[in-house]
Amino acid sequence: MTDMPLSNLGAIDAAHHLHPFSDMKKLNAAGTRIIQRGEGVHIFDNHGRKYLDGFAGLWCVNVGYGRKEIAEAAYRQMQELPYYNTFFGTTTAPATLLAEKIASHTGDKLNRVFFTNSGSEANDTWFRMARVYWKALGKPTKTQVIARKNAYHGSTVAGASLGGMKLMHEQGNLPIEGISHINQPYWYAEGGDLSPADFGLKVARELEEKIDELGEDNVAAFVAEPIQGAGGVIIPPDTYWPEIARICRERNILLVCDEVICGFGRLGSWFGHQHYGVEPDLAPIAKGLSSGYLPIGGVLVSDRVAEVMVEELGGFYHGFTYSGHPVCAAAALENLRIIEEEGLVERVRDDIGPYFAQAWKSLEDHEVVGEAESVGLIGGLQLAADKSTRRRYSSPDDVGTLVRNHCLDNGLVMRATDDRMLASPALIIARSEVDEMVDTLRKGLDHLRDTVR
Ligand code: PLP
């Protein structure tokens, strides 16, 4: 794309391009950043400025930028068969082989995949599937879904409704009917005097209370991210997930783990639920499936649900023109081959994950840091006005933005959700690059300490 007229791209962008999740007035005034190239964990803008991408794009470029093998796999497939669908009794080799490859990493029970183009569509898909499942079993009243406050499950109507983002709900008269939200396991802000372990149990048991309130016969499923990502990398206390799994099992509701961020190695396991030792019935995936090289997502479907879909249903009236798109599937297959051959999941679990954990944790000695927690290569850092009392800043959004912008000015892409700094680098990040990330973030924290009282 270097032959494109980049000099006036900013003006063209302001005139014609509406951006997701952006204040367009501010964006147009400041001018958009134009990212031109990527290599490893680095991206380069149109002025040739280099940034360490501490966020792997949007939590997705797991194998890093510049993998020619993925580009070549897509090119080969595009020449051979650029498109065919998976509707009405057909498939293509990449779609089928990708389903098999994914299933080889899911454990015993999640043996099937329904393909989508994105994580949002994957959430819409399981949402319909869960209702269809219960109806096929003669329980048509089991339609309600319980989700969590501050969760993110995408931007489609069902995805945004399942999510617990206030601003998204306010803008679109959401959530739609049949979805309710319980509290998140955010001990730092909401745990009060309870220990993290007790708090984990308490918020997990809100699920049971909600089931009682709605009536077990009316509840189809509970959905949660293994670690809540966009909500601020909220890492649950260890007591949380086993209790959630117990409740879903005993109360006969489907457990849905949204693996869109946590899947494909980020937590040092192929899927986030494996890290927490629980077995979902359904699991939306996307992002790391292709490391973002091409859009593709899906839903992992357990045998329990699949058997009903296959034996009882006579057809799930649902699908996307590009479900299992052969070029996206070929790119995803190559991406998974790289993850396997380079042992990236094991690298996160045994090597770079523990290294990152130590470096990240070292930031807890900073005056403005309340807590710095991580699992694998996902980290959340809590900014605190007074760490001894867990007092937060009065305008959380501003302090996060201040630190994030300081990092950006110093060549590091970070993300902030209110007063939490989030990290999610590519799984190939080197130790020296982890050090650089943490050093630059520390300078951002100094800047906060010196600027906001
Ligand atoms: N679920 C989770 C946990 C996510 O983090 C995201 C995106 O960030 C989505 C779903 C939506 O995925 P997509 O943006 O591919 O639609």
pLDDT tens column, 384-438: 999 999 999 999 889 999 999 999 999 999 999 999 999 999 999 999 999 999 9
pLDDT at 4: 60
Is residue 268 within 8 Å of 231, Cβ to Cβ? Answer: no
With the most atoms of ligand 1 within 8 angstroms of its CB, the residue from 120, 123, 148, 422 to mutate is 120
Is residue 120 within 8 Å of 155, Cβ to Cβ? Answer: yes
Rg of the chain taking only CA atoms, in angstroms: 22
- What does the pLDDT average to over 149-157? 98
pLDDT at 1: 55
Amino acid residing at 303: D
Question: Binning pLDDT at 50, 70 and 90, where does residue 12 land?
Answer: very high
pLDDT at 453: 73
Is pLDDT at 3 greater than 70 in this prediction? no
pLDDT at 427: 98
pLDDT at 230: 98
- Kindly report the pTM of this predicted structure: 0.97
pLDDT at 5: 58
Report the separation in Å between the CA atom of 297 and the middle of ligand 1, taken as the mean of its atom positions.
Answer: 10
Give CA–CA dist 200/203, Å, rounded.
Answer: 6
pLDDT at 396: 83
- 3-state SS, one letter per residue, for the chain: CCCCCHHHHHHHHHHHCCCCCCCHHHHHHHCCCCEEEEEECEEEECCCCEEEECCHHHHCCCCCECCHHHHHHHHHHHHHCCCCCCCCCCCCHHHHHHHHHHHCCCCCCEEEEEEECCHHHHHHHHHHHHHHHHHHCCCCCCCEEEEECCCCCCCCHHHHHHCCCHHHHHHHCCCCCCEEEECCCCHHHHCCCCCHHHHHHHHHHHHHHHHHHHCHHHEEEEEECCCECCCCCECCCCCHHHHHHHHHHHCCCEEEECCCCCCCCCCCCCCHHHHHCCCCCEEEECHHHCCCCCCCEEEEEEHHHHHHHHHCCCCCCCCCCCCCCHHHHHHHHHHHHHHHHCCHHHHHHHCHHHHHHHHHHHHHHCCCEEEEEEECCEEEEEECCECCCCECCCCHHHHHHHHHHHHHHCCEECEEECCEEEECCCCCCCHHHHHHHHHHHHHHHHHHHHHCC
Q: What is the mean pLDDT of the chain?
A: 96
Q: What is the pLDDT of residues 340-368, one digit of tens each?
A: 999 999 999 999 999 999 999 999 999 99
Give CA–CA dist 288/127, Å, rounded.
Answer: 21
Q: What is the pLDDT of residues 233-282, one digit of tens each?
A: 999 999 999 999 999 999 999 999 999 999 999 999 999 999 999 999 99
Give CA–CA dist 373/319, Å, rounded.
Answer: 39
Q: What is the pLDDT of residues 39-86, one digit of tens each?
A: 999 999 999 999 999 999 999 999 999 999 999 999 999 999 999 999
| Nearest CA, atom 13, ligand 1 | 119
Ligand 1: atom nearest CA of 228 is 3
pLDDT at 172: 83
pLDDT at 397: 82
| Nearest CA, atom 10, ligand 1 | 153
Q: Which residues pair with 254 in a beta bridge?
A: 221
Q: What is the pLDDT of residues 168-214, one digit of tens each?
A: 999 989 999 999 999 999 999 999 999 999 999 999 999 999 999 99
pLDDT at 31: 87
Ligand 1: atom nearest CA of 286 is 15
| Nearest CA, atom 7, ligand 1 | 154
With the most atoms of ligand 1 within 8 angstroms of its CB, the residue from 262, 287, 415, 424 to mutate is 287
Q: 257: closest CA among 284, 234, 232, 236?
A: 284
Is pLDDT at 7 greater than 90 in this prediction? no
Ligand 1: atom nearest CA of 259 is 3
Instruction: Compute φ and ψ for 113, nearest 5 degrees.
Output: -130, 135
ipTM: 0.99
- What does the pLDDT average to over 208-222? 98
Report the separation in Å between the CA atom of 154 and the middle of ligand 1, taken as the mean of its atom positions.
Answer: 5
Q: 284: closest CA among 224, 345, 218?
A: 224
Report the separation in Å between the CA atom of 153 and the middle of ligand 1, taken as the mean of its atom positions.
Answer: 5
Amino acid residing at 249: R
pLDDT at 92: 98
Q: What is the pLDDT of residues 315-326, one digit of tens each?
A: 899 999 999 999
Say which residue the tokens 């209370």 belong to: 209
Report the separation in Å between the CA atom of 286 and the middle of ligand 1, taken as the mean of its atom positions.
Answer: 7
Beta-carbon contacts of residue 425 (< 8 Å; ≥ 6 apart): 41, 52, 53, 54, 55, 56, 356, 377, 433, 434, 437
The proportion of the chain whose per-residue pLDDT surpasses 90, expressed as a percent, equals 94
pLDDT at 120: 98
The proportion of the chain whose per-residue pLDDT surpasses 70, expressed as a percent, equals 99
Report the separation in Å between the CA atom of 318 and the middle of ligand 1, taken as the mean of its atom positions.
Answer: 20
Say which residue the tokens 């996060």 belong to: 400
- What does the pLDDT average to over 112-126? 98
Is residue 220 within 8 Å of 145, Cβ to Cβ? Answer: yes
To the nearest 10 degrees (0 to 180), the angle between helices 68-80 and 326-341 is: 150
Beta-carbon contacts of residue 157 (< 8 Å; ≥ 6 apart): 124, 172, 174, 176
Q: Which residues contact ligand 1 via a Cβ below 6 A? A: 58, 118-120, 123, 152-154, 225, 229-230, 258, 260-261, 286, 297
